[in-house]
């Protein structure tokens, strides 16, 4: 091919580049793995005899989406187990569990998950229903948030749980009136049974990763941050399977891996993290991030709040949630990780957890000076107004999961009544964060929620989920589509340290997605109707829909 021509040219449709210098174009040329030119009719001069020309036919070209908080290996593995995602009541859950158990008579454990807390009274299903469905084998099913699990009597007995078993410091065993474990395990209590569940094999993990990669590419995702590399609950460490995929040439995405910080492990685990960073940074995999889970979730009362939750009567309870790492220790840990060049990826839902994480970032800044580690806080369900401007001041990125910012049963039945009016009005403050100058990144937390970035864009812009007939959720926190798209592309590229991606700019990597329509030219209520037709990583097509 002549040096002056391109390998690939997109033309004939709108291009939203997310590049402030040239935000809109109609043609893009690619040579090798990088963008060669961005413009209009003049780009067609780069078409040569061997150039592949993609006629957009009015469809939209955008940078490839990047998921800043996702669990692909676990999602892929769970897809082959007992899948309860989308089930809306106990009867549907029961039918799926019975069908799965009947179809897999040789499996020693029935595992899987995806059940929703709102499907059961108080969000806590009991062991007796499982006992009627699978009386002869242990059952262990995580909920869709992966902060709780449902076990039958056989599983509880195999784990040695009875009325004398104490709650762990970082979790809770839901109990019957006499203290007997009732079947639901919250947070750290999940380990009590999970440690006895057979782990997925290396081949099962690889199959799960490849399935998840295909799903994500199908949604236009070209890069992601795996939010947990390490053994946790019943999930084995995913880092070795990523390394295997790299070595076998199977990893087509760009991946930043967040190494798991064991909350009770202290700074003694730092040398092992440094070793793992070197071991698992190769090819398209980078392991220079550490994940710290600072609290739980609001629905089960473990998100860390500045004040107590309300009880069922609307009065202040004695519970304000859990801080999994003592705040003083957290400051020391983050300072040490920052000094070693680690990025810290916080799980922080409650306003106390958010403040503790920001305080830790501030302590690291005081001790080490400004560095380029790009710490970020994920989830941010409740943020105290005093902490909103601190994101910009500290250089901390707000990593949002937009699909959660909507009225749906779990929000309306298990969250708002127990937060109270004032705190409930401070949930997912996307617009406040943008106005304050914070950098936004975006992710899905799949399999907790859908990995579809377009559905997340729809919810961020409209503050209701696609197809929902519920009211708009805190409409003052809606953000424009171009801001939401920037979060899911350039913002996530920033936290992933992929500075040569995230926008369609000459010289940057050609990570691109073709949508079937121009969502900027249609009403905001129609965003979710869009689909991804083609996905490219480094100029290489990794997904093409049958009707593309």
| Enclosing domain of residue 90 | 77-194
Rounded Cα distance between 143 and 183, Å, is 12
Rounded Cα distance between 72 and 213, Å, is 7
Task: Please check whether residues 271 and 382 belong to one and the same domain.
Answer: yes
| Percentage of the chain modeled with pLDDT above 90 | 88
What CATH number does residue 536 fall under?
2.30.40.10
Task: Please check whether residues 369 and 325 belong to one and the same domain.
Answer: yes
Let me know if residue 474 belongs to a domain: yes
Quickly state the pLDDT bin for 3 (edges 50, 70, 90): low
Quickly state the pLDDT bin for 398 (edges 50, 70, 90): very high
Q: Note if the bond before 413 is cis, omega within 30 degrees.
A: no
Own/partner pairs, 171-180, CB within 8 angstroms, 24+ separation:
171/302, 172/300, 172/302, 174/124, 176/126
Let me know if residue 342 belongs to a domain: yes
Q: In terms of pLDDT, which residue wins out, 80 or 380?
A: 380
Task: Please check whether residues 379 and 461 belong to one and the same domain.
Answer: yes
CB 160 within 8 A of CB 136: no
Per-residue pLDDT tens digits for 181-217: 999 999 889 999 999 998 889 999 999 999 999 999 9
Let me know if residue 211 belongs to a domain: no
At 118 the pLDDT is: 82
- Name the 3-class secondary structure at 259: strand
Strands 221-229 and 254-260: parallel
Let me know if residue 208 belongs to a domain: no
Please say which residue of 194, 212, 227 terminates a domain. 194
Sign of CA dihedral 297, 299, 303, 305: positive
Quickly state the pLDDT bin for 144 (edges 50, 70, 90): confident
At 147 the pLDDT is: 83
Rounded Cα distance between 306 and 336, Å, is 26
Let me know if residue 234 belongs to a domain: no
Q: Residue 323: is it exposed, middle or buried by C-beta count within 10 angstroms (0-12/13-18/19+)?
A: buried
Quickly state the pLDDT bin for 235 (edges 50, 70, 90): confident
Q: List the structure tokens of 222.
A: 């070209």
Task: Please check whether residues 330 and 464 belong to one and the same domain.
Answer: yes
Q: Residue 329: is it exposed, middle or buried by C-beta count within 10 angstroms (0-12/13-18/19+)?
A: middle
Q: Residue 201: is it exposed, middle or buried by C-beta count within 10 angstroms (0-12/13-18/19+)?
A: exposed
- pLDDT at residue 534 above 80? yes
At 2 the pLDDT is: 45
Task: Please check whether residues 404 and 521 belong to one and the same domain.
Answer: no
Q: What is the mean pLDDT of residues 466-472?
A: 92
Task: Please check whether residues 166 and 297 belong to one and the same domain.
Answer: no
Question: What is the per-residue DSSP string for 125-185?
Answer: --HHHHHHH-SSS-EEEEETTSSEEEE-HHHHHHTT--TTPPPPTTEEEEE-TTS-EEEEE
- pLDDT at residue 233 above 80? no
CB 48 within 8 A of CB 9: no
Per-residue pLDDT tens digits for 501-517: 999 999 999 999 999 99
Q: CA end-to-end span of the chain, whole Å?
A: 26
Let me know if residue 69 belongs to a domain: no
Task: Please check whether residues 40 and 84 belong to one and the same domain.
Answer: no
Bridge partners, residue 291, by sequence? 260, 345
What CATH number does residue 146 fall under?
3.10.310.70
- pLDDT at residue 25 above 80? yes
Task: Please check whether residues 399 and 349 belong to one and the same domain.
Answer: yes
- Name the 3-class secondary structure at 64: coil
Let me know if residue 325 belongs to a domain: yes
Mean pLDDT is lowest, of 118-122, 211-215, 398-402, for: 118-122
Bridge partners, residue 442, by sequence? 400
Rounded Cα distance between 159 and 71, Å, is 26
Chain-wide mean pLDDT for the chain? 95
Task: Please check whether residues 19 and 154 belong to one and the same domain.
Answer: no
Q: List the structure tokens of 235.
A: 């999930």
Per-residue pLDDT tens digits for 351-365: 999 999 999 999 999
CB 326 within 8 A of CB 271: no
Looking from the CA of 363 toward its CB, the CA atoms found within 13 Å total 17
Q: Residue 22: is it exposed, middle or buried by C-beta count within 10 angstroms (0-12/13-18/19+)?
A: middle
Rounded Cα distance between 52 and 209, Å, is 30
Mean pLDDT is lowest, of 41-50, 233-242, 284-293, 522-531, for: 233-242
In 10 A of CB 265, how many CB atoms?
Answer: 14
Mean pLDDT is lowest, of 84-88, 321-325, 519-523, for: 84-88
- pLDDT at residue 437 above 70? yes
Rounded Cα distance between 258 and 12, Å, is 40
In 10 A of CB 102, how many CB atoms?
Answer: 10
Quickly state the pLDDT bin for 123 (edges 50, 70, 90): confident
Phi, psi for residue 500 in degrees, rounded to 5: -100, 25
Per-residue pLDDT tens digits for 302-340: 999 999 999 988 999 999 999 999 999 999 999 999 999
Rounded Cα distance between 235 and 90, Å, is 25
Task: Please check whether residues 512 and 491 belong to one and the same domain.
Answer: no
According to DSSP, residue 451 is labeled -
Number of folded domains in the chain? 3
Phi, psi for residue 309 in degrees, rounded to 5: -65, 160
CB burial string 48-61: b at 16+ within 10 A, e below: eeebeebebeebbb
Rounded Cα distance between 412 and 298, Å, is 12
Q: List the structure tokens of 348.
A: 């922080």
Q: In terms of pLDDT, which residue wins out, 184 or 4?
A: 184
Task: Please check whether residues 425 and 524 belong to one and the same domain.
Answer: no
Task: Please check whether residues 285 and 428 belong to one and the same domain.
Answer: yes
Rounded Cα distance between 236 and 189, Å, is 17
Let me know if residue 68 belongs to a domain: no
Rounded Cα distance between 39 and 42, Å, is 7
Quickly state the pLDDT bin for 1 (edges 50, 70, 90): very low
- pLDDT at residue 258 above 60? yes
What CATH number does residue 378 fall under?
3.20.20.140
């Amino acid at each position: 091919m002549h040096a002056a021509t391109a390998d690939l040219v997109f033309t004939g449709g709108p291009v939203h580049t997310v590049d402030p210098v040239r935000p809109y174009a109609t043609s893009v040329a690619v040579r090798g793995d990088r963008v060669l030119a961005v413009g209009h009719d003049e780009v067609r001069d780069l078409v040569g005899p061997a150039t592949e020309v993609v006629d957009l036919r009015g469809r939209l070209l955008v940078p490839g989406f990047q998921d800043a908080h996702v669990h692909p290996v676990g999602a892929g593995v769970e897809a082959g187990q007992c899948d309860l995602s989308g089930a809306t009541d106990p009867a549907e859950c029961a039918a799926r569990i019975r069908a799965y158990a009947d179809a897999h008579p040789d499996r020693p454990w029935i595992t899987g998950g995806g059940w929703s807390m709102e499907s059961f009274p108080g969000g806590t299903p009991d062991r007796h229903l499982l006992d009627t469905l699978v009386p002869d084998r242990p059952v262990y099913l995580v909920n869709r948030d992966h902060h709780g699990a449902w076990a039958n009597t056989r599983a509880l007995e195999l784990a040695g749980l009875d009325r004398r078993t104490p709650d762990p410091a970082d979790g809770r065993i839901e109990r019957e009136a006499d203290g007997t474990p009732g079947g639901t395990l919250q947070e750290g209590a999940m380990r009590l049974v999970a440690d006895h569940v057979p782990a997925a094999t290396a081949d099962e993990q690889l199959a799960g990763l490849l399935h998840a990669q295909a799903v994500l590419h199908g949604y236009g995702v070209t890069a992601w941050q795996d939010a947990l590399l390490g053994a946790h609950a019943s999930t084995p460490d995913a880092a070795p399977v990523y390394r295997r995929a790299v070595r076998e040439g199977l990893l087509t995405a760009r991946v930043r891996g967040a190494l798991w910080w064991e909350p009770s492990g202290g700074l003694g685990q730092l040398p092992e993290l440094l070793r793992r960073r070197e071991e698992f940074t190769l090819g398209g995999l980078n392991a220079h991030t550490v994940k710290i889970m600072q609290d739980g979730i609001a629905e089960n009362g473990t998100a860390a709040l500045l004040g107590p939750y309300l009880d069922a009567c609307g009065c202040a309870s004695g519970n304000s949630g859990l801080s999994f790492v003592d705040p003083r220790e957290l400051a020391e840990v983050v300072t040490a990780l920052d000094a070693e060049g680690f990025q810290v990826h916080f799980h922080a839902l409650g306003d106390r957890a958010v403040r503790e994480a920001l305080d830790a970032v501030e302590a690291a800044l005081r001790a080490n000076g400004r560095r380029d580690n790009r710490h970020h806080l994920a989830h941010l369900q409740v943020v105290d107004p005093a902490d909103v401007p601190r994101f910009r001041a500290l250089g901390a990125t707000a990593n949002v999961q937009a699909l959660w910012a909507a009225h749906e049963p779990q929000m309306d039945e298990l969250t708002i009544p127990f937060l109270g009016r004032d705190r409930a009005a401070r949930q997912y403050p996307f617009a406040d964060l943008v106005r304050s100058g914070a950098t936004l990144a975006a992710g899905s937390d799949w399999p907790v929620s859908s990995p579809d970035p377009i559905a997340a864009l729809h919810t961020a812009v409209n503050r209701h989920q696609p197809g929902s007939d519920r009211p708009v959720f805190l409409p003052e926190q809606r953000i424009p589509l171009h801001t939401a798209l920037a979060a899911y592309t350039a913002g996530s590229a920033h936290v992933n340290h992929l500075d040569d991606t995230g926008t369609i700019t000459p010289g940057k990597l050609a990570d691109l997605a073709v949508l079937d329509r121009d969502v900027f030219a249609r009403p905001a209520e129609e965003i979710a109707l869009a689909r991804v037709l083609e996905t490219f990583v480094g100029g290489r097509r990794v997904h093409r829909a049958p009707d593309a």
